[in-house]
Amino acid sequence: MSLEETLTMPVDASINLNGKVFMLVEDVISNYQLLYAYFNKSGVQIIHVDNGLDAVNIIKNNIPVDLIIMDIRLPKMGGLEATALIKSMRSDIPIIAQTAFAMQADRERCMKAGCDEFIAKPFRKHELMKILSKFF
């Protein structure tokens, strides 16, 4: 592949997500639908939960997950608490925090809780794929 082809390739074309299992932890259905649309044709198997407690229980039940995209403000259990519990059980699962609160202090709280990356809403597909390329 030439340098020109590489530079003009869509950001996500170089990432092979086929067969990966992503857990999308999002309580706002329109936000989930956007994430679903981003991954729809990538071969990713999606597990969707709408609260932090269910996310923790999925990991407790040893359901295989390759990556988690975690909203921070969630019912039943917040995303930061869920992240800390998940990381205590499975530190190998990358967790990307997603939040509408994009201040530096918010990013630092997410990273301190155990998140591996942080993305502020609203975000575009290429921004998310750039982060995913760090893991796959």
Q: Structural domain boundaries of the chain?
A: 3-132
Reported as a single tens digit per residue, the pLDDT across 60-90 is: 999 999 999 999 999 999 999 999 999 999 9
Is residue 122 within 8 Å of residue 104, measured between CB atoms?
no
pLDDT of residue 9: 42
Digit-coded pLDDT (tens) for 22-51: 999 999 999 999 999 999 888 999 999 999
Q: In what order do the strands lie in the sheet with 67-71?
A: 45-49, 21-25, 67-71, 95-99, 117-120
Q: What is the pTM of this model?
A: 0.87
Confidence of residue 121 (pLDDT cuts 50, 70, 90): confident
Contact 45, 20 (CB under 8 A): yes
Distance, CA of 129 to CA of 127 (rounded, Å): 6
Fold of 3-132: Rossmann fold (3.40.50)
Whether 12 shows a pLDDT value over 60: the answer reads no
Is residue 107 helix, strand or coil?
A: helix
How many residues make up the chain in this entry? 136
- Calpha distance 19→33 (Å, rounded): 20
